[in-house]
Amino acid sequence: MWVSSLASILPLVVLAFALPSKDCEHQVKEEVVPPRGWTIFGPAPSDHFINLRIALPQSNFNLLEQHLYEISDPYHERYGAHLTKEEVEDLVAPHPDSVAAVNEWLSSHGIQEEDISRSSAGDWLAIRVPVWLVEKMLDTKYHIWKHATSGDYIVRTTSYSLPKDILDHVELIQPTTMFGTFKRLKSTIHSISPTNSQVQAQNQPPVSDPVTGLTVDASCNTTITITCLQQIYNAVGYTPSAHVGNSVGIAGYLGDFANRADLQSFFEDQVPAAAAVNATYNFVSVAGRLRFLGFSSWLTLSKVVSTHKIPLTLAWSLTSILSLRSWLDFMLSHPNPPLAISTSYGDDEQTVPESFAKRACAGFAQLGTSIWARFTTSNSTLCVPQVPAECRSRSLPETGGVGDGDPDPATQTCITNDGQNRTQFIPGFPASCPFVTAVGGTILFPEQAVAFSGGGFSNYFARPSYQDAAVQGFLNKLPKGTYSGLFNPNGRAIPDVAAQSDFFRVFAAGQPIHVGGTSASSPTFTGFVTLLNDARLKKGLPSLGFLNPLFYSTAASGFNDITVGNNPGCGTEGFNATVGWDAVTGLGTPDFAKLVKLVT
């Protein structure tokens, strides 16, 4: 798998010797301690090709961030005045001096303009080069690394350097020090007979929540269906329009894909009107690299909650944490992306270099400033203009409570990856990005927090101002010294919101099964955001865009506060669900009827 033909690299070899490479003293740009679990397997073959991505500094990101918060603040006069794609790109375009300096550096190594792919804003460059040339350019040495647990192999280095005269013109280069293993956020598939549980519940009286006053079918405590979600979240009877320009999207990675036949079975089971018109989805392959290795039943959820009247787009990307960058590039270049997006993939924040995490987070800010919205998951995560089906961020990722994602508490390490081997709660990325909406998990009715709901505080991102009041209130209620040193109380807090996350009835290979995880919470919540967009579009209002400033202010009363449950991990009971925001379920779960009134 490491061998490339001589013919394929000959043009680069000729060019590299045809031009003198830039002779300038190098300085270390980034270095990391080899992460726990990774060991050197051997030297990287010199002719192995690497798809190198180079980030140039974004010239006016601070101004873009200001725009984002102004247009997302319901108290601001500019609320809802999203920027155009071109206006966003102007704000993040690199300075001409950076472009010229990096072009000259690449040219000195025989890399010409036709060898370079550039993002729409020109702030990211991509080149495909062999190891021997990358090592020369970055004054480093690559190795093949093997992961002890997964058995995965990757080609990486633990440090790289750049000529001093371009050091400030390059923000980061990857893959270099990136050892993260992009993963599904712990979805679980239970081989249960949902039919039996439904039959048993048919003879039970409806269940009422004395706090919300809502009543749902007893079967919803054993099997979650579209009808259950409509009942639990007060959306019974709402009908979206097919003619207001609404849309929803789901991102998929790691070979997961939706199955059209299973989708039809699902519709026949729960949404007969959709089955009758053979409703389906649009599929887009990002970077042309789709592998059919499995199925992801989550991919149906946003669609069915939003109903078959709203166009659904499924977009797949590659198979590592770097896929997130490819996906962002694609979405940022798209002339008409979905208005809400869900994702359910991510990794422990500490396995992603801080420089990459912050730059990827900036990409979510770009999306939020434009005309659409997105979710991701971290325990759940969500982004807006809005994102992903198994994510910890602008929708959510699924984690093992406050732990490192290992569902077995006995084997959770919760050890830092910085060489100091400190015990610490492990936040997830991209859920920890402040420009996405992270979604946590609940279970049963009346609702309570589910134990595997991720939650906690970022070590990379400071707490955004929109969270200050809600999160400080939570911290003030913690007994003094609780988990001292195990989390960063000043970090961006997750999750933001929550939704049902277990006992979902879906179809796989034509058979009904039960599935669970915050990989279900994220697309479920995204579906209701899509309905909120529908309500706004019907009134001639713009789509919601970046959600968090709205949720933590004028829309806060539109959530059902979850006060029961906790998210154990790292040998602790984790955080408790409590009155107000908490690090298990965030602000709570949506009351759609209330939210519609608040946002329209």
How many other CB atoms sit within 10 Å of the CB of residue 272?
9
CA distance 543 to 552: 18
Ligand-binding site membership of 561 (annotated): yes
Phi, psi of 301 (to 5 degrees): -70, -50
CA distance 74 to 476: 27
CA distance 141 to 235: 57
Ligand-binding site membership of 574 (annotated): no
CA distance 144 to 45: 9
Contact 517, 187 (CB under 8 A): yes
End-to-end CA gap in the chain: 55
Hey, which residues does 17 pair with through a beta bridge?
Answer: none
489 preceded by a cis bond (ω within 30 of 0):
no
Contact 258, 284 (CB under 8 A): no
Going by C-alpha positions, the residue among 334, 262, 311, 234 that lies closest to residue 594 is: 234
Give residue for tokens 């940022």.
332
How many other CB atoms sit within 10 Å of the CB of residue 240?
18
What is the largest distance, in Å, between two alpha-carbon atoms of the chain? 82
The residue type found at 64 is L
For residue 453, what are its two tokens?
């709901």
Ligand-binding site membership of 115 (annotated): no
**DSSP code, position 212:** T
Ligand-binding site membership of 562 (annotated): yes
3-state secondary structure at position 473: helix
In degrees to the nearest 10, what's the CA dihedral of 521, 526, 531, 537? Answer: 170
Feature table: binding site for Ca(2+): 561-562, 580, 582
Feature table: binding site: 561-562, 580, 582
